[in-house]
Amino acid sequence: MTALPETPGAAPDTSPAAAADRSDSGHGRRIFAIWLVVAVVIDVLFVFLAGPHLPPGAMTQNARSQQIDFTVITATALPVILFVWVYFAYALIVWRHPKGEPLTDGPPLRGHFRIQASWIAVTTVIVMAMFVYGTVELIGPAGAGGGEGPAPIWTPASSNVLVIQVIGQQWRWTYRYPSFGGFETDQLVIPNDTAIAFHVTSLDVIHSFWAYQLGVKSDANPGSDNVAFTTTGSATGTFIVRCAELCGIWHADMTTSGVVLSKSAFERWATLTEVKQAAATALLPKFAWSYTPDANGADGGYYPDSKDPYSSVQTYGS
Amino acid sequence: MTIVAESPVVTVTDEPRQGWLSQHLGTAVIGAVGGYLLGHWAGNLIASGYPTVTGTAANGANDVAVVLGLSFGVFGWLLGIGALNYPLAKLVGREPLAERPSVGWSRYFRFTLDHKVVGLQYVIGVLMFFFTGGLLAMAIRTELLSPTTHIIGPGTYIAIVGEHGTIMMMMASSLVLGPLGNYLVPLMIGARRVAFPRIEAASFWVFVAGYLVILTALPLGGFPTGWTGYAPLQTQATLGMDAYLVGFAVIGLGMILAGFNMAVTIINYRAPGMTWGRIPIFVWSMLATAALLTLATPVLFVAGLFGVLDRTAQTAFFVNEHGGNAFLWQNLFWFFGHPEVYIMALPGFGIVGEILPVFTRKPLFGYRVGAAGMIGVSLLSFFVWQHHLFQSGINPDMRPLFMLTTELISIPTGFIYLVGMGTLWRAKIRFEVPMLFALAMYFNFLIGGVTGVYLSDVPVNVTLHGSFFVLAHFHYTIMGGLVFAFFAGLYYWMPKMTGRSLNKTLALWHFWIMFIFFNLTFFPLFLVGLLGQPRRVFEYAPHLQMLNDLSTVSAYLLAASMIIFIVNFVWSLYIEPKAAPENPWDSKGLEWATATPVPFHNFDRIPLVLTDPYRYGEPDAPPVAQITEVPLPPRVREPDPLGSDAGGVTGGGSADG
């Protein structure tokens, strides 16, 4: 036989202390006041102290805008987090069940239309604001450094865009400069104050080109072209390139560095390298937006040669 | 006062226990081994001459043999445990053998029709998954102690990373619905059984089969793709990849079965008076989760099938050079993968929603808002998956669209905070162990959820995607949210499920060490990701070593808290068990109104439900249900509770809730 347990303490507390306790607005005001002070202080501290130092730094326009975006999101999120924390802390301290006393129940508050409606309204407004802001930031600095696929819709304002092809393979990065004869190098050298288009592709599996300080991340997909833009600022210096998509055993080792030079230094380097590597460049597959490995890669090559029965079929460069 | 008594009808203890020659775990193992050997042999027969992706079968790299071996092995496992007896009998037009309900401790090793036994089997099952994945995590963190000194090779490391992730994700999909959902939902809705007891039991044995399949990946050499399995690396990989693909297909099958059964049970087996407005919030979360399990998992199953076919039958779903597209895997996987993570979030919401009223002695604030939030999350979760592909080269028009849907889903996700905070208002809070875990869930999930907002913002996503920030985000939501909620539920419902309580002192040590060191393990990883460390690496920039070491040392202490839990679990249940009071938490839930131990048929009479289980603070409120006590004549053989008139004899109606 089963019977329902009689749960003790079914009556709400009617002591004088509880009557004083019943002033809802008192609690609400106190929580709001504590929250307001804490949120403002911490928000201001964060925006001014941490803001300028946030990743990924300000080396390029899109990196700077990502930094600002991060600051804005945190400045919005911090008050929300603090509201929950202040509320929980207040509740857990003030509304404990008195120790050792027989079990009593709290008031049967099952809902409150205004509070529920306000919560839904406020969270919707915050979320929609984040969406609008994020979209604006995405469009503004020409795609914010992310890979837009082969047909980008957000392009830099400047008409003078330097094209660099980034080729990922297991497990290294190489770069081709089509405006300088298409030479291939493992050094990523870029000029300052220039809009740059990275055309990222892969020769085998999916990698991801992540130039941290440039604020660029674009997946390297085999057989396809993923375009990401950046506009360098006037600062010169080095930056790190990592692979951000697991591509096999040595994924962790696909780390190199690149350098931002002044425009004249870059020109000198590029023309010099073009001349130095002319012989090697002639042996490379013709420059193309993506490269398909030789259909019969039994000898491991991406380059057709006389040994391949299908060597008359040009699968790249056309 | 509640009477703890045996039901007056003939109980199953009068029947002799099934012996060693019946079907049990042992026969399942025999079936699995036999099936594997048969499949492997058949695979070699078919395909020994094929050139496979990584070589020819002559050098042992025969994917066909592995795939067939694993598949036949799973089939043999199910045959051995007796999961297929009923359908096979019906298939050949015979009446199935009468199923004798098994008794005693051996029923936990058998295919059983008692949803409560399945629930307890799942408890052991999920803990097995969890601790295996946890050991692998310890290996990962140990390797990351130094960026230059390596204790394991890169191939082994990446195999361990993938295995850890896959095992944990497989476990977390059923972490709550399996043990707690299967055990408690029928009790909470006043039912005597689930809708499909055989499907439910099969889901457990398939779950265990999935565990064994994914474990075989390690001796087969591991898989190099991580749990996300991206093609073309997937197509390039050696034999361990087949275990991943078959393993996911098997686990997916179990998830579909479990979800389907749960949804039908909740919709059709509610007791009279149990309207949609009266079901406990935990049941709402189980319904929302079941919907996702049933609708999203088939996509995973199909994706795994495509991958297997590419690697064995020379199809080209994911092979660019032959007209397929590697992109397809990403889309199929994440179309499942995003609902999957809500499969992991929603049960946590349900548990804390159930626990808070009991330990605040107040009704759940905003019950309808909470339930609406869960349904909203469930629906919206199908529309956000491209946020995993923001940098993959998708059509750029799609990015603001999916940014919008991802931001929108944070609105219903936030409702659980409205509900929790409202329930805490002017409450009478008791800090019992389940409440501590529930509060910790709120704390952790807040951090996890807010960091998700960063990832949903596309410009910031450019910095954060593929870095440790993402890793810290999902560990905060899945481990900090779901696993903490799971422990809350386990400590809370253990007295009902086993009649024993877990030791309170050990539980408090477990909680505090777990909470503190969980945060110390994963919070530094946000910073590490922000500072540029990609995921799944064994080497990193030297200036990040201190943060990584802080994380590793904390991880060891987090593991120590799990050892405390295991000691508590084993001690309190087996070594020095102490009987727990009937309703130690003074909860008004209907599940607490059953006898302990809960009889096979749950309720002597189908209850007539009068109200929801949150009528705290109302001295005149009716009890949650009316369970009248009418003595039955002794030794009346009760009609088969699984027959068509289940419950009908008691006049309470059965399936038409």
Q: Do B593 and A3 touch (CB under 8 A)?
A: yes
Distance (Å, rounded) from C-alpha A251 to C-alpha B374?
Answer: 39
Nearest to B604 by CA among B274, B189, B192, B273: B192
Residue A293: the pLDDT is: 67
A206: nearest CB among B233, B603, B617: B233
Residue A237 counted as domain residue: yes
Residues A124 and A191 in one domain: no
Residues A195 and A132 in one domain: no
Task: Check pLDDT > 50 for residue B646.
Answer: no
Is B634 in CB contact (< 8 Å) with chain A? no
Residue with tokens 């497990």: A171
Question: What does the pLDDT average to over B623-650?
Answer: 56
How many Cα atoms within 13 Å fall on the side-chain side of residue A84?
Answer: 23
ipTM value for the complex:
0.89
- Pairwise pLDDT comparison (A1 vs B484), residue with the higher score: B484
Pairs of residues, one from chain A and one from chain B, whose beta carbons lie less than 8 Å apart:
341
Is B363 in CB contact (< 8 Å) with chain A? yes
Residue B490: the pLDDT is: 97
Is B314 in CB contact (< 8 Å) with chain A? no
Q: How many CB atoms lie within 10 A of CB A132?
A: 13
B390: nearest CB among A5, A112, A146: A146
Q: Phi-psi bin for B568: left (phi > 0), alpha (psi -120 to 50), beta?
A: alpha
Is B338 in CB contact (< 8 Å) with chain A? no
User: How would you label B161-196 residue by residue, b for 16+ Cβ within 10 Å and e otherwise?
Assistant: bbbbbbbbbbbbbbbbbbbbbbbbbbbbbbbbbbbb
Q: Do B429 and A249 touch (CB under 8 A)?
A: no
Q: Tens digits of per-residue pLDDT, B457-472? A: 999 999 999 999 999 9
Residues A171 and A220 in one domain: yes
Q: Tens digits of per-residue pLDDT, B353-392? A: 999 999 999 999 999 999 999 999 999 999 999 999 999 9
* pLDDT-derived band at B61, boundaries 50, 70, 90: low
The DSSP code for B331 is: H
Task: Check pLDDT > 70 for residue A307.
Answer: no
Residue B345 in tokens: 């979030």
Residue B50: the pLDDT is: 62
Are B320 and A202 within 8 A, CB to CB?
A: no
Is B628 in CB contact (< 8 Å) with chain A? no
* pLDDT-derived band at A303, boundaries 50, 70, 90: very low
Residue B530: the pLDDT is: 95
Nearest to B592 by CA among B184, B115, B119: B184
Residue A308: the pLDDT is: 46
Is B540 in CB contact (< 8 Å) with chain A? yes
Residue A219: the pLDDT is: 96
- SS3 of chain B: helix, strand, coil, percent, to 5: 65, 0, 35
How many Cα atoms within 13 Å fall on the side-chain side of residue A299?
Answer: 10
Phi and psi, residue A122, nearest 5°: -65, -45
Task: Check pLDDT > 50 for residue B229.
Answer: yes
Task: Check pLDDT > 50 for residue A312.
Answer: no
- Segment among A167-171, A261-265, B517-521, B593-597 with least mean pLDDT: B593-597
Are B170 and B209 within 8 A, CB to CB?
A: no
Residue B513: the pLDDT is: 98
Task: Check pLDDT > 70 for residue A233.
Answer: yes
Is B427 in CB contact (< 8 Å) with chain A? yes
User: How would you label B209-224 residue by residue, b for 16+ Cβ within 10 Å and e otherwise?
Assistant: bbbbbbebbbebbbbb
B233: nearest CB among A87, A146, A247: A247
* pLDDT-derived band at B627, boundaries 50, 70, 90: confident
Domain ranges of chain B: 115-575
Task: Check pLDDT > 50 for residue A309.
Answer: no
- Beta-carbon contacts of residue A289 (< 8 Å; ≥ 6 apart): A150, A165, A199, A201, A225
DSSP strand pairing (A195-202 vs A161-169): parallel
Residues A277 and A194 in one domain: yes
- Beta-carbon contacts of residue B505 (< 8 Å; ≥ 6 apart): none
Task: Check pLDDT > 50 for residue A314.
Answer: no
Task: Check pLDDT > 80 for residue A302.
Answer: no
Residue A279 counted as domain residue: yes
Is B550 in CB contact (< 8 Å) with chain A? no
Q: Residue B539: which H helix or E strand, with range?
A: none
Is B154 in CB contact (< 8 Å) with chain A? yes
* pLDDT-derived band at B600, boundaries 50, 70, 90: confident
Residues A287 and A165 in one domain: yes
Q: Do A249 and B616 touch (CB under 8 A)?
A: no
Question: What does the pLDDT average to over B240-244?
Answer: 95
Task: Measure B94 CA to nearest chain A CA, in Å.
Answer: 38
Neighboring chain B residues of A255 at a CB cutoff of 8 Å:
539
- Beta-carbon contacts of residue A48 (< 8 Å; ≥ 6 apart): none
Q: What is the DSSP string of B441-458?
A: HHHHHHHHHHHHHHHHSH
How many independent structural domains does chain A possess?
A: 2
Are A114 and A20 within 8 A, CB to CB?
A: no
Residue A10: the pLDDT is: 47
Distance (Å, rounded) from C-alpha B63 to C-alpha A182?
Answer: 41
Question: What does the pLDDT average to over B558-572?
Answer: 96
Residues A242 and A123 in one domain: no
Is B323 in CB contact (< 8 Å) with chain A? no
Residue B119: the pLDDT is: 96
* pLDDT-derived band at B49, boundaries 50, 70, 90: low
Q: Tens digits of per-residue pLDDT, B523-557? A: 999 999 999 999 999 999 999 999 999 999 999 99
Residue with tokens 């253990």: B494
Residue B478: the pLDDT is: 97
Q: Phi-psi bin for B71: left (phi > 0), alpha (psi -120 to 50), beta?
A: alpha
Residues of the domain holding A70: 25-95+117-140
Sign, CA dihedral B296-B262-B373-A79, equals negative
Interface test with A, best of B333, B462, B601 (most A CBs within 10 A): B462
Residue A22: the pLDDT is: 55
Q: Tens digits of per-residue pLDDT, B85-116? A: 999 999 999 887 766 666 778 889 999 989 99
Distance (Å, rounded) from C-alpha B266 to C-alpha B595?
Answer: 22
Question: What does the pLDDT average to over A24-44?
Answer: 93
Distance (Å, rounded) from C-alpha B391 to C-alpha B349?
Answer: 31
Q: Do B540 and A252 touch (CB under 8 A)?
A: yes
Task: Check pLDDT > 90 for residue A283.
Answer: no
What is the rounded average pLDDT for all residues in chain B? 90
Residue B531: the pLDDT is: 95
Q: Do B627 and A70 touch (CB under 8 A)?
A: no
Q: Which CATH number covers residue A260?
A: 2.60.40.420
Residue B341: the pLDDT is: 97
Q: Residue B486: which H helix or E strand, with range?
A: helix B484-498
Please give the angle made by the CA atoms of B321, B323 and B329, to the nearest 5 degrees: 90
Distance (Å, rounded) from C-alpha A78 to C-alpha B227?
Answer: 32
- Segment among A51-65, A286-300, B188-202, B351-365 with least mean pLDDT: A286-300
Task: Check pLDDT > 60 for residue B156.
Answer: yes
Q: Do A106 and B428 touch (CB under 8 A)?
A: yes
Task: Check pLDDT > 70 for residue A17.
Answer: no
Say which amino acid occupies A252. Answer: A
Residue A194 counted as domain residue: yes
3-state helix/strand/coil string of chain A: CCCCCCCCCCCECCCHHHHHHCCHHHHHHHHHHHHHHHHHHHHHHHHHHHHHHCCCCCCEHHHHHHHHHHHHHHHHHHHHHHHHHHHHHHHHHHCECCCCCCCCECCCCCCCHHHHHHHHHHHHHHHHHHHHHHHHHHHCCHHHHECCCCCCCCCCCCCCEEEEEEEEECCEEEEEEHHHCCEEECCEEEECCCEEEEEEEECCCCEEEEECCCCEEEEECECCCEEEEEEECCCCEEEEEEECCCCCCCHHHCCEEEEEECHHHHHHHHHHHHHHCHHHHHHCCCCCCCCCCCCCHHHCCCCCCCCCCCCCCCCCCC
Q: Tens digits of per-residue pLDDT, B386-442? A: 999 999 999 999 999 999 999 999 999 999 999 999 999 999 999 999 999 999 999
Residue A315 counted as domain residue: no
Task: Check pLDDT > 80 for residue B12.
Answer: no
Distance (Å, rounded) from C-alpha B170 to C-alpha B209?
Answer: 12
Q: Tens digits of per-residue pLDDT, A70-119? A: 999 999 999 999 999 999 999 999 999 988 888 899 999 999 999 999 99
Neighboring chain B residues of A151 at a CB cutoff of 8 Å:
395-396
Residue B2: the pLDDT is: 38
Highest mean pLDDT range out of B278-282, B606-610, B618-622? B278-282
Q: Do A7 and B587 touch (CB under 8 A)?
A: yes
Can you tell me whether residue B500 is helix, strand or coil? strand
Interface test with A, best of B160, B166, B391 (most A CBs within 10 A): B391
Q: How many CB atoms lie within 10 A of CB B539?
A: 19
Fold of B115-575: Cytochrome C Oxidase; Chain A (1.20.210)
Q: Do A95 and B428 touch (CB under 8 A)?
A: yes
Neighboring chain B residues of A223 at a CB cutoff of 8 Å:
320-321
Please give the angle made by the CA atoms of B349, B355 and B360, to the nearest 5 degrees: 125
Beta bridge partners of A201: A167
Whether the ω angle into residue B232 lies within 30 degrees of 0, i.e. cis, is yes
Residue A318: the pLDDT is: 27
B407: nearest CB among A97, A131, A153: A131
Residue B639 in tokens: 């009609």
Residue B16: the pLDDT is: 55
